[in-house]
Amino acid sequence: MTEKKEAGKRAKWSKFCPKCGKQTDEFFDSMCKDCFKQGITLLVPESRSLELSVSVCPHCGGFFKGKEQTSIKPAVETAVRKAIWKKYGAETPVEIAELSVELAENKRSAHVSIAVKAEISGVEIKETGEFTAALRREICERCSRIAGGYYAAIVQIRAEVRIPTDEELAVAENIAHAPLGESDFVSKERMLKEGLDIYVSSAEYGRMISRAVVKELGGNFSESKKLYGRKDGRDIYRVTFLVRLPGLKQGAVVKIGNKKISVEKVIEGEGIEGVDMNTGESVFVSKKEMMKAKKI
């Protein structure tokens, strides 16, 4: 078929758009292209709202889809795509050309401005829009666990036949509070005569802290678990990590009460022989007595 013939045929069989009356051969949904385009709204019209099904935690400001942490932009993109697919079919090619999302100060909604392209019945449609997306405010699992004092493991910082120094405890605390996985947290700390107990969100996290403390300060750690209860048919354990920092060596100086003692000899399982630094007297300090000793 030649161009000429085709043109002649067209003229003969020309049709008119029933909506605007324009003469055309190309019909989309029984209308001319322009009328077809006019009938399409990609973005939600009057209501100017979008079903995001995203919640925001008023405590930490994190966005969540169910329990999973998410970010707001991909959530908006998905919601817009889904809204378009719902109207025009899931095979519709949709492209988000521009997107900016601004969270309202009260965190109850987000202002969205968007440019979107889609191809419907072979016609490319471009649209820009602005709307407000409502957000659910919901305290996330992590924040509610923190608030509820939840813990799954305890890291006990102790030292071999002495009490840990303030510096050592500070190192352990810094390790425990360093930002790690999103679900890791310290729920409480208890200072005891013999050291420090750090209550943490999971056994894995407790193990990580213990390992890091030993790497930094020496010594070793052991773990033991105790059945705590059952949840969804599974046994729930709480794990205790006992970190033992290294004991004293010859030449170390300890403080017991207001006495300063320099360590001369460590007698395994019994105590130490030392010198009272104020009086110059030789002294023996029993293992039990040594538990009040602070290394200085």
- In terms of CB distance, is 140 or 171 closer to Zn ion? 140
For residues 44-83, which are near Zn ion according to CB under 5 A? 57, 59-60
Measured from the Cβ of residue 118, the count of other Cβ atoms closer than 10 Å reads 22
Binding Zn ion (rule: CB under 5 A), the pick from 42, 76, 84, 140 is 140
Binding-site residue total for Zn ion (CB under 5 A)?
Answer: 10
Q: Which stretch binds Zn ion (CB under 5 A): 8-16, 24-32, 79-87, 288-296?
A: 24-32
Neighbours of 175 (CB within 10 A): 21
Q: Is 252 in the site for Zn ion (CB under 5 A)?
A: no
**Region from 136-144, 159-167, 213-221, 247-255 binding Zn ion, contact rule CB under 5 A:** 136-144
The residue behind tokens 């010198």 is 275
**Residue 27 corresponds to which tokens in the numbers above?**
């019909």
What is the closest distance, in whole angstroms, from the C-beta atom of residue 64 to Zn ion in the complex? 8
DSSP string of 200-224, one letter each residue: ES-HHHHHHHHHHHHHHH--EEEEE
Residue 174 CA to residue 262 CA, distance in Å, equals: 29
Binding of Zn ion at residue 208 (CB under 5 A)? no
Select 32 or 243, whichever has its Cβ closest to Zn ion: 32
Shortest Å distance, C-beta 15 to Zn ion? 11
CA-nearest of 24, 2, 28 to 13 is 24
Q: CB nearer to Zn ion: give 28 or 199.
A: 28
CA distance 152 to 222: 16
Tokens of 193: 């005569």
Token pair recorded at residue 70: 């998410």
125 binds Zn ion (CB under 5 A): no
Task: Tell the smallest beta-carbon distance from residue 190 to Zn ion (Å).
Answer: 24
Sort strands 153-159 and 186-192 into parallel, antiparallel or unpaired.
Answer: unpaired
Least separation in angstroms between CB 144 and Zn ion: 8
Cβ proximity to Zn ion, 20 vs 104, nearer residue? 20
Q: For Zn ion, which is the closer residue by CB, 17 or 94?
A: 17
Toward Zn ion, which CB reaches closer, 143 or 275? 143
Task: Select 24 or 210, whichever has its Cβ closest to Zn ion.
Answer: 24
- DSSP annotation of 163 reads B
Task: Using CB under 5 A, pick the residue from 103, 143, 154, 242 that binds Zn ion.
Answer: 143
Q: Among residues 7, 11, 20, 267, which is the contact residue for Zn ion, using CB under 5 A?
A: 20
Edge-to-edge strands, sheet with 55-56:
68-70, 63-65, 55-56, 136-137
Phi, psi of 106 (to 5 degrees): -80, 0
Which segment (1-9, 35-43, 74-82, 191-199) binds Zn ion by CB under 5 A?
Answer: 35-43
CA dihedral 102, 105, 106, 109 (to 10 degrees): -20
Given the rule CB under 5 A, which residues bind Zn ion? 17, 19-20, 32, 35, 57, 59-60, 140, 143
